[in-house]
Structure 1
């Protein structure tokens, strides 16, 4: 069951990011998320998924222990008492959100600059369209 859940989450993450076309890109990392990133090497795509407990480290440019990675990816959130869903990261002023599934932390996602996460809508919106504590709506 957990294996199936991991596959579904991974598939959703890949679909959300889209597939990187390495045919015209220089070698490097693309579509970088906290748990998944693409690597183009000699115009060949490799998608890397960090194992549980590890996240992308912008300094080392690889998966690393989440306890030594700078925020926001390195900030592990406690999902042990949370229902499945996405939650605004109040410590980062709602400019990102994290996902919990079956009491497991699945990492952060970042909002487009200038937007904040609105929990009732489940997406990032302009601050005037978000309720407090993330936005200006009362």
Structure 2
């Protein structure tokens, strides 16, 4: 009876182990996404990706450990316990800033050492894609957007600006309401910048560039109201 019990347990143990396919190589675990089996001559050796990375069978090179946002784990939902270090929730990967109000910065963690990265102005970091995206396509909430309002109260219109073909302008420009020489630029449609034309020119809204005052209705006399420069002193000769 004891021998029968032993044999039953031994068979169950063998069945629970990974069975190598005929071809040598690396194969994903059926339940754990960062776990894989390396087969050589029909013998399987179980291995794990570095903490934060998962196994990607689609990679043709030998190192098949990849970022989670690049891999569809499917039913392989289990992961090894995290090994947090400093601001890195796991040793490897791209992670959002620890302050939930800071959405334009993230950390690139490599073996627990982090590099802080700032997105292009107007974009937020998205952990699901590991990239910087437009705020309306991300799920980030509570972000600090106070920097999107200038001191004079100007903010970029939400509806954006379209060109003559009906396409959305990436960096639209807007005239200043009271100053002919100044205008606003909205970087990526969201980050406002207060700019100005060189002295002698004014902003032409129709052409979307600086132009001569006589070409802009309402700004023809913009520089004529300025006081004339004081005459230079003439040195007396003896």
TM-score range, shorter chain: 0.3 to 0.5
The structure where helix makes up a greater share of residues is 1
Structure with greater Cα Rg: 2
State TM-score, norm by structure 1: 0.37
Structure with greater strand percent: 1
